[in-house]
A and B are shown apart, each in its own frame.
Chain A
Amino acid sequence: MRPYSYQHEYNFSDKYQFAGIAKILSLIAIAVGVIVIAMGFLSSNEVMVERTYANLLLMAYYFACVCAAGTVFVALQLVTQSGWSAGLIRVPQAMSSILPIASGLLLVIIVLGLFSDNLYQHWNAEGLMDPNSPNYDPLVAGKEAFLNLPGFLTRQILFMGAYSILAYLIAKISYKEDLEGGLYSYKRTFKLSAIFLVIFGFTSPIWIFDTVMSLEAHWFSTMFGWYNFAAMFVSGLSVITLIIILLKKAGYMPWVNENHLHDLGNLIFGFSIFWAYVWFSQFMLIWYSNIPEETVYFYKRWEPEYKPWFWLSVIMNFVAPLLLLVDRDAKRKQGLMMFVCILLLCGHWLDFYIMIMPGTVEMNRGFGLSEIGIGLGFIGLFVFLVFNKLGKHSLAPANHPFLDESLHHQV
């Protein structure tokens, strides 16, 4: 088959069997999520309804972010013509191919929240833009050119539509490579990845401004987009690493070894520090200039309701990975990497929680059934969709031009 003699015992047509306990658990988690959401929606307590919406937005956004980060990872590997990741690319590809579902879900939640006045009411309430109304808010009215309902919805649909179509196509063409071989799909995905990265790079900050920053429409920060991108990429990398470790523990993907884990660990380490860098830059500039319209964001998070969680997020997302992953050998150990990945995923949930909650439920913050149930529901959905996708195609792109380089990767 191959033009030169190269020997290995790997079976690249090996497929993941998604069945048994993993499938049952993910379905139970989805059921728990649905029940908690239904309970929240049917609750007579208005605060509870709002909290359910806030949690839905949080998890749907997190879900979309992780899938988008998977696409960014695939696109980066293709555009940089990286060889090391060829053997593990099927995992981010599976995440990439479910981005349309994640974006659709996020869009539905945003629209429901908008029209039931549970989300974005800070700029979407009646009379905010009307100088004669008692509700008139000059700050929000000044932003009308950007923050208006038709514009907001058009941007959401356009951006998420573009990400979804490209993400789905990149994964689909690569899956076709298994059957057809040749360089056609590699070249095609290379072009699509370049287009995706340009579109995503320029529009993702605006998408993030709309989805998260506009919850507190008085406040703005140009750094917010990068801050969220860092959070999204770290959580995406953690999910990729976690899935690979779980697959390896189940006996799949023997060609992915500690060298690949080391590189993923390096990326997680680096992007955790990048996250802290952007987080701190945003914090320090606002702290130093001390302008009321900017400090309002941190003022809210400085209240006793949020302050401990605010600092815990920094410890979990920066201090912990910095100290745990700084050592070379630490990045090569499956157990430790798994622990760090789970810690970072919890940490970035907390990070998003601190971004979203003070702008939605404000002082009625809580951590209880609503948070845990909806979180579990989305984890179940993610696991079900991704592992289902992984089970449909072989776990290695057997005709990928750089697959051999990946097998020989050494750091």
Chain B
Amino acid sequence: MSNIKYILGSFADPDQMMDGIDKLQKNNIEIYDCFTPMPIHGIEAKLGVKPSRLPIVAFCFAVLGAILGFSLLYYTMVHDWPMNIGGKPAFAAPAFVPVTFEVTILLCALGMVATFFFRNHLFPGRAPRVMDIRATDDRFILAVDAKTNTDHELIDSLLKEAGAVEVKHNERKYISYE
């Protein structure tokens, strides 16, 4: 049993990589992931990636923000220390709208960023883990799990056939920037 964990096909051209995806899928070889230095149209549909659930998170944080913003105003302006401002009632609902709106947007944005970082195992100071460093520069990488797809020679030949410049057999999943 080999220690190869992942097979990486490195392409210089996005069209050749898309061709590589087709070739692998035609042979029922599951693609683990795909790394590109720029967004490529139609790749999510091709790989069958599920739509992001980030909008749901955004909605939840926005609702939370609206509740918090409104409660803050209600507590300070009505409950704790009611003030007479221009003869308006303490509970001046229209005047609450802008602040509530701002807190909603703030929490929505911050919550989305926090969720994104959490989900992608990112935080300030952490060295990002990448499978191939050149995916951040000029190469389009197709990763195949070598443990579940055992016919390594077929994978190699398919990737080469599609135009891979380089095929790597990696024993470690990630290389780091360290």
Question: Contact residues of A with B, CB < 8 Å?
Answer: 280, 283-284, 287-288, 290, 326-328, 408, 410
Contact = CB atoms under 8 A, between A and B. Distances in A.
Interface string B88-101: 10001011011000
B86 A284 contact: no
B41 A288 contact: no
A326 B56 CA distance: 11
Interface of B: 41-42, 51, 55, 59, 86-88, 92, 94-95, 97-98
Contact of A288 (B42, B51, B59, B86): B86
11 contacts: A280-B94, A284-B94, A284-B98, A288-B86, A288-B88, A288-B92, A288-B94, A290-B86, A326-B59, A328-B55, A410-B42
Contacts of A284: 94-95, 97-98
What's the dominant secondary structure at chain A's contact region? loop
Given A328-B51, A328-B55, A410-B42, A288 B95 contact: yes
Contacts of A410: 41-42
Contact of A283 (B51, B59, B87, B94): B94
A187 B55 CA distance: 40
Contact of A280 (B59, B86, B88, B97): B97
Contacts of A408: 41
B41 to A, nearest CB: 5
Contacts of B55: 327-328
Contacts of B87: 290
Contacts of A288: 86, 88, 92, 94-95
Contact of B94 (A287, A326, A328): A287
A410 to B, nearest CB: 5
Nearest to B44: A410
Contacts of A290: 86-87
Contacts of B88: 288
A221 to B, nearest CB: 16
Nearest to A288: B95
B36 to A, nearest CB: 16
Contacts of A328: 51, 55
